[in-house]
């Protein structure tokens, strides 16, 4: 695509030497080398990342940690147990214990506009 041979590089170096002079040319060469190194590092990182994406298989990946949640019966028995005791929940006892919710409040039926 874009080929640069030895003669082209030598011509560019000679023009740069004439334009910039011998004092500024080493600094320019160091800057160009640093930029080229950064460009190569970014290209290498991109290539590595693309190779990892190509080889990635989500079906082969196993979850490293599983989240354990208590069973609903155990949580219900622990809430309804007496203070200072430990409760062992079984399906029979968990079903026999009603949920710990309050009934909805009854609407206020008093009408203060009528004398009582």
The pLDDT score that the predictor gives to residue 71 is: 58
Longest dimension (CA), the chain: 113
Q: What is the mean pLDDT of the chain?
A: 75
Q: Enumerate long-range contacts of 63-70, CB under 8 Å, 24 or more apart.
A: none
Give CA–CA dist 53/61, Å, rounded.
13
**Could you tell me if 94 and 77 are in contact, meaning their C-beta atoms sit under 8 angstroms apart?**
yes
Would you state the pLDDT for residue 34? 97
Convert the pLDDT of each residue in 55-111 to its tens digit: 888 787 766 666 666 555 555 555 555 555 555 555 555 455 555 666 666 666 666
- Token pair for 68: 């354990």
Token pair belonging to 89: 């929940």
CA 13 – CA 10 distance, rounded (Å): 5
pTM of the prediction?
0.40
């Amino acid at each position: 695509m874009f080929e640069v041979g030895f003669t082209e590089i030598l011509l560019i170096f000679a023009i740069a030497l004439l334009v910039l002079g011998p004092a500024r040319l080493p600094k320019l060469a160091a800057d160009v080398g640093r930029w080229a190194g950064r460009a190569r590092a970014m290209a290498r990182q991109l290539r590595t990342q693309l190779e990892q994406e190509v080889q990635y298989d989500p079906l082969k990946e196993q979850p490293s940690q599983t989240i354990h949640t208590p069973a609903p019966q155990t949580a219900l028995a622990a809430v309804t147990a007496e203070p200072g005791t430990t409760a062992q929940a079984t399906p029979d006892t968990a079903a026999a214990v009603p949920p710990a919710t309050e009934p909805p409040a009854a609407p206020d039926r008093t009408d203060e506009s009528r004398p009582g």
